């Protein structure tokens, strides 16, 4: 829980102003005094993971053990996976304690969409003129475009969200695409780690249309 991470850093129980609700089992603003006391004595390190990493852990657990974990139940797997990658751990046996399968069917669609860590999301501004999207896509091709969100607003600029999968065996492929887009005169912002953009703005791309 983010509340426990902050409290351990401060050496006292801290109340957070807000918490994310995806892993609702760990979404507490203020942790309990007894839980904090135990963690202060026994916990060596806290690992923070994001929504995509939790979704990837749910997918990993299903593929490996055919169990469907709820987001909070998959925190241990997500944290262990991140810790192993950060510390380049190999040749060891590690244990993640998982609990909780309070997962409804509708949420699985969201988890499936966010579990693919290979996808990258850009917010791009292009002219509202014929051929602009083709010019943008020519800079990304032959990479697989997985999403293109856009709504007509005016005859000026078009604001779009586009997601694609960089080529994994090409070093700095994603960064190269961003540079190429900007060099061709398109405004470009990396929204891959922007939770607001991926969870909400992608469904509102273009804003309110002013078409009469």
**Whole-number pLDDT of residue 37:** 95
Task: Write the pLDDT tens digit of every residue in 139-154.
Answer: 999 888 888 887 766 7
**Would you mind telling me the total number of residues written for the chain in this entry?**
212
pLDDT at 26 over 90: no
pLDDT at 200: 65
pTM higher than the cut 0.75: no
23: pLDDT confidence band, cut at 50, 70 and 90? confident
Distance CA 89, CA 92 (A): 7
Q: What is the mean pLDDT of residues 165-182?
A: 87
What band does 119 get if pLDDT is binned at 50, 70 and 90? confident
Q: How confident is the model at residue 169 (pLDDT cuts 50, 70, 90)?
A: confident
Residue 86: its pLDDT value, please?
Answer: 92
Q: Which of 6, 2, 45 is nearest to 20 (CA)?
A: 2
The 10s digit of each residue's pLDDT in 60-76 is: 998 888 888 999 999 99
β partners of residue 120: 164
Let me know: does 51 contact 114? Beta carbons within 8 Å: yes
């Amino acid at each position: 829980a983010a509340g426990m991470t902050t409290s351990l850093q401060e050496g006292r129980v801290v109340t957070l102003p807000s918490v994310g609700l995806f892993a609702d089992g760990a979404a507490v603003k203020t942790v309990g005094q007894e839980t904090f006391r135990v963690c202060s004595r026994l916990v060596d390190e806290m690992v923070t993971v994001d929504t995509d990493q939790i979704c990837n852990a749910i997918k990993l657990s299903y593929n490996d053990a055919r169990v469907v974990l709820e987001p909070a139940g998959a925190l241990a797997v997500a944290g262990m996976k991140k810790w192993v990658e950060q510390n380049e751990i190999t040749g060891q046996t590690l244990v993640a304690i998982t609990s909780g399968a309070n997962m409804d069917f509708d949420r699985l669609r969201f988890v499936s969409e966010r579990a693919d860590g290979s996808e990258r999301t850009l917010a791009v501004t292009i002219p509202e003129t014929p051929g602009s999207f083709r010019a943008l896509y020519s800079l990304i091709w032959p990479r697989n475009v997985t999403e293109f969100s856009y709504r007509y607003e005016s005859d000026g600029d078009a604001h779009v969200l586009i997601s694609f999968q960089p080529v994994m065996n090409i070093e700095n492929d994603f960064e190269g695409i961003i540079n190429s887009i900007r060099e061709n005169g398109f405004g470009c912002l990396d929204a891959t780690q922007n939770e607001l953009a991926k969870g909400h703005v992608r469904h509102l791309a273009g804003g309110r249309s002013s078409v009469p």
